[in-house]
Chains A and B, each alone.
Chain A
Amino acid sequence: MKIVWIIGLGVWVLSAAPPASAQEVPGEPSGREIAVMVDEREDGDDQISEAVWTLTNSKGKTRKRDTLRYWKDYEGRDGLSSKSFVYFESPPDVKDTTFLNWSQEDAEADDDQWIYLPALRKVRRIASGDKENSFMGSDIIYDDMADREVEEDTHKLLRVEQNNGTKFYVLESVPIKENYIYSKKLRWINAENLTEPRIEFYDRKGRLLKIWTTEWTQIDGIWNWKRTVVENQLTGHKTELEFSNVRFNQGLKESIFTERSLRKGAP
């Protein structure tokens, strides 16, 4: 009988041991430290890219769009984190549609958005307060695109994985805010270049909601998406993005990111 007590006590002591020790995996940086490093990864001052969007629903039907995107980092100037300008090249019935987004530094604030519909010949301002809405009808939501502050989550290094001689950190990021759209994210982070080849998103009921896998490529010394696929595990909807002609630090002018340039189409 005594031995049962001792084992029971041992189990209790072990399970009650504080998990939040300084080092989650001995000899490795903490989850938070890794998150900070990823956040600080060089991503250029501005960028031009072409992207082919392929959206596929669970029945295998697809929507395809070609876009040209200009992006500029504002790093908090004018209270903005970045500005982006998207030009639709195809399909033909939406050609020349342009979209402008001013992303606010303050995560709670609404982005400023404008759209130009060529068939309407009008620039219209879109005031949207919902960050949980889809980005261009894809499986990516506005919130996924926004710069998420390291402080908004608690980060924990779950383990270190080796794959083909490359070392990956597996990081668990749990939001601090209650009722956030995700209950947690699992992020696979390349220990050498801090790129994220795989992110798993879990919904509020704890179910795996979507898997986001990305192939990375280095252009002008900056790591960037080459191809990214987001698969919604609950709806079977899939978003594929192929990037080409990616150029960094082109010294993009402010005038590109204005209402006036929306009408003119691609600069």
Chain B
Amino acid sequence: MESIFHAIIRFRFLVIAAVLGVTLAAVMQLQYLRFESDAESMIPPNDPVLHYNDVVEERFGMLDLIIVGVLNDNPQENGVFNPRTLGIVKEFSEKIALLPGIKAVRDEDVTSVATMDNITGTSDGMAVDPFMEEPPRSAAALAALKDALFDNAMFVDWVVSRDGTGLLIMARMESSEGTLEGVARRSAIYKTIRDMIREKEAAAVPEQFHIAGRGAMEVTFSEDARSDMERFMPLVLVIVLGTLYLTYRSLRGVLLPFAVVIISVIWSMGLMAWVEVPMYFISTMMPVTLMAIGVAYGIHILSRYYDEILSQAEPDANAAVMAAMREMWKPVVFTALTTAAGFLSFLTAAMVPIRYYGVFTSVGVLAAMVVSLTFFPAVLSLLSPRAGRGLRRQMKRGGDLAATGWAARTLSSLGRGVARRPLLVWSISVGSMLICLVGLQRLYVDSSWIDVFHQQSPIRIGDEVLREKFQGTLPIYVAIEGHEPDLLKDPDLLRKLDRLQAEVEQDPIVGGSLSIAEFIKRMNRVMNEDRKEMEVIPDSRDLIAQYLLLYSFSGDPDDFDEVVDYDYQHANVSFFLRSDHSSDIERVIDRIQDFVVREFGAEENGADGQAGEHDPLTVQFGRWLAGITPTVIGWETKSGFWIGFAGQGYMSNRFSELVVSGQLTSLVTSLLAVFLLTTCMFRSVVAGLINIIPISAVMVFSFGLMGLLGIPLEVGKSMTASMVIGIGIDYTIHFLNKYQLKTKGGLVDSEQITVATMATSGKAIFFNAAVVIGGFLVFLTSNFKPNFYLGAMMALNMGACLLASMTLLPAILNTFKPRFVYGTRPSPAPPTRTDYVVSTLQEKETV
């Protein structure tokens, strides 16, 4: 290995040119980097749940909605029932119908009080009339409109809120068909509507406006992701540069490690562009992550380099660089490998974006390692071997590294404390572990799409308001598939659908539901002089067929598309939920499944429609670990129907199942990888075990604490696990490496070894952790909650890793004195000057 570094120093200009050349080539690629904002890209493309969802959406012609709420709670104005509010709804409805990308030919194709027809029963028949053509002006006409709306249960909570203070406008958006133009068209819809609202707000109308629905979410998502990127970079620069300056107070100390991370970010992003992998939402975290963790290698090399310079009377540039590289190449290589392994364990995830995030972050980590081992010493050897003036003065005064700089002093005394009171360290560690293990039992999984957005995000506020006031924005579909046409004209089947709706609607989060049964009931009432008691499914199958024919006289051919297919073979029952928390959704699904089993019969042949069957092993393993029951797509019932589940609510459940179980598997994988790598590095299984003990303790601590505090596990938090393992292990590796070197250097007293390690490696570890923590704290400013949680968890966990490797790890080493560190007999090598100084210093103190 030494000869390699000799060669690097010898051909340093060549090395520098080569690294800069590759970097330039990567910069050229960056322009081709593409952004991908489709939220669906997070679900694996061949996932059975997604596939069935597509089947249902295609069959029933379901399109994504964009929803506008117009609210007015002024009782003086009779809520929304005043000419101005109604006029705004009419104006918006008509304008939205004309937008490109909105599926609307007629005004009626946009749903609102201004466009809908009201079908009412009269003494001699039925009347089909618009609720309003123009906003009514007289009090009587306004009251009549209100009565007409509230008389039809289907419209309440749907186009009008129950309390009469809100009206909804709903429009269907044509599919983007995955093209850039399609995506741009959809975002243009949202932006145009937002402008319409802003115009009204500028005119100071008293109405409040909210936008919700998938289309609005998509646009907000990509806008917020971009603004995150723009804010993160300067922040992380300030933190990294600031910490580096505080560490070394020298220009090279700041610029060199910084150059390493910049180069590694450019390399990995350039590679992404070159192999045409797009930037997903999650990949926007990559540059920040790399900046935070990539400086570590430089910090450790530089730290050893300065220690060498400070401890030599006449330091030589090449010799100092060689000394640093000789000692540091191994921990640098292995800490990079373990960090890369931590990120590579994301390959076990079912989500493509998470996999790519893992792969390209580990590429970046390895790039940082390569640059740190080549470019870094090459440049360093060109500079004159000088440490900061302050450090030199302190070193001269004390003649001791442990007393040089505030960090070294503090850490040395911490080391001394740990070495002298092992029992205290042990009892605190074991005690907190036991408490956290209890918390681990209480940990539960809960995620939510809309909670991805920040509390102050207009989209989240809008969604919350509209969900509260109206029937709910998140659909779950129950598809009832028959095996022959015209089954849906059967009165018994329709009554079952009706009962299903009634039963599930009892759940507080179910705001409403829709099925063909409701239309038949409504028509039966209308055709029987509008008598309320006739709002039931009629007994005659022929009458149902005739009602359906009658509906077709007053609508559009695709009017019933969302509730029944064209030849009345399959029905869809939609439930609209007011909450999108996976725990709530699960409860509703249980209710539906109970009913379906009772009324349609249980599954015919085992777990027929379980998505879990065909999941990758990694997901199955993680699910088994987490005790999650696999998502059921549906099943064949004894009564000859296939009952299937779909909808955004269902997808959301599946999503959290996949992420959490996948991440559990990557936790185990990365722990295993780290164990194997450290076993190789220290050539000892015991060393591997000792390495993963502190990191496992941190895992138990962080997830146990979440359980104790009742914080649910979700996507962002679950992703931290293998990252913490991959990055946090670095501290134990560096610590152990130094500790081992110290014993090989001849020290035998565990307190001396601990203090000496803390004063040197401990200092580097401390600054390393400070940069990482600071870097991840940047995510606290994110527009997205999962990023916020991820940042907070990472910062907390890295702090815990730092603490564990400086307390628990030395306690283990000092207590058990493992053979791979202490050896069977004392090493013959003479002590270095530093060790000698430290040990003499301690001897003085103990006297």
Contacts and interface: CB of A to CB of B under 8 A. Distances in A.
Interface stretch (A113-121, A156-164, A185-193): A113-121
A57 B566 CA distance: 7
B527 A137 contact: no
Interface string A40-77: 00000000000000010101011100000000000000
Contacts of B97: 204
Contact of A133 (B98, B545, B555, B567): B555
A130 B554 contact: yes
Interface string A93-108: 1100101000000000
B567 A61 contact: yes
Interface in A201-222: 203-205, 209
29 contacts: A57-B557, A59-B566, A61-B566, A91-B545, A114-B125, A115-B125, A117-B527, A117-B543, A117-B546, A119-B543, A120-B527, A123-B125, A124-B125, A124-B527, A125-B125, A125-B126, A126-B554, A127-B125, A127-B129, A129-B128, A133-B556, A136-B553, A138-B557, A139-B557, A204-B97, A205-B98, A205-B100, A235-B558, A237-B558
A97 B549 contact: yes
B208 interface: no
Interface in B93-140: 94, 97-98, 100, 103, 105-106, 108, 117, 122, 124-130
Closest 4 CB pairs of A and B: A137-B552, A125-B125, A119-B543, A93-B545
Contacts of A148: none
Interface string B549-581: 110111111100000011100000000000000
Contact of A118 (B129, B489, B541, B542): B542
Given A133-B555, A235-B558, 4 more contacts: A61-B567, A120-B527, A126-B127, A134-B553
Given A117-B546, A119-B546, A237-B557, A126 B527 contact: no
A128 interface: yes
B128 A127 contact: yes
Contacts of B100: 205
Classify the interface of chain B: helix, strand, loop or mixed: mixed
B540 interface: yes
Contacts of B486: 93
Given A97-B549, A137-B557, A127 B566 contact: no
A233 B312 CA distance: 84
Contacts of B558: 57, 235, 237
A126 B129 contact: no
Contact of B105 (A120, A126, A209): A209
Interface of B: 58-59, 94, 97-98, 100, 103, 105-106, 108, 117, 122, 124-130, 486, 489, 527, 538, 540-543, 545-547, 549-550, 552-558, 565-567
A174 interface: no
Interface string A3-42: 0000000000000000000000000000000000000000
B561 to A, nearest CB: 8
B553 A127 contact: no
Contact of A134 (B127, B527, B556): B556
A119 B527 CA distance: 12
Contacts of A134: 552-553, 555-557
A126 B128 contact: yes
Contacts of A91: 545
B565 A61 contact: yes
A132 interface: yes
A206 B124 CA distance: 41
Contact of B129 (A62, A129, A135, A232): A129
A97 B552 contact: no
A181 interface: yes
A176 interface: no
A141 to B, nearest CB: 9
A260 interface: no
B124 A125 contact: yes
Interface range, A side: 35 or more
Contacts of A97: 546, 549
A245 B230 CA distance: 74
A130 B130 CA distance: 8
Contacts of A122: 527
B542 A119 contact: yes
Nearest to A56: B566
Contacts of B59: 59
Given A125-B122, A181-B106, A115 B129 contact: no
B545 A94 contact: yes
Contacts of A114: 125
A111 to B, nearest CB: 11
Contacts of B550: 115, 117
Given A130-B117, A132-B108, A93 B546 contact: yes
Tell which of A88, A133, A179 has the most Cβ of chain B within 10 Å: A133
Contact of A181 (B105, B540, B554): B105
A204 B566 contact: no
A93 B489 contact: yes
B521 to A, nearest CB: 15
Contacts of B546: 93-94, 97, 117-120
A185 B29 CA distance: 50
A121 B256 CA distance: 91
A126 B130 contact: no
A234 B105 contact: yes
B566 A63 contact: yes
A88 B125 CA distance: 20
Contact of B122 (A118, A127, A179, A237): A127
> Among A99, A119, A136, A237, which residue has the most Cβ atoms of chain B within 10 A?
A119
Contacts of B489: 93
A132 B106 contact: yes
A62 B566 contact: yes
Contacts of B552: 134, 136-137
B124 A63 contact: no
Nearest to A239: B557
Contacts of B124: 124-125
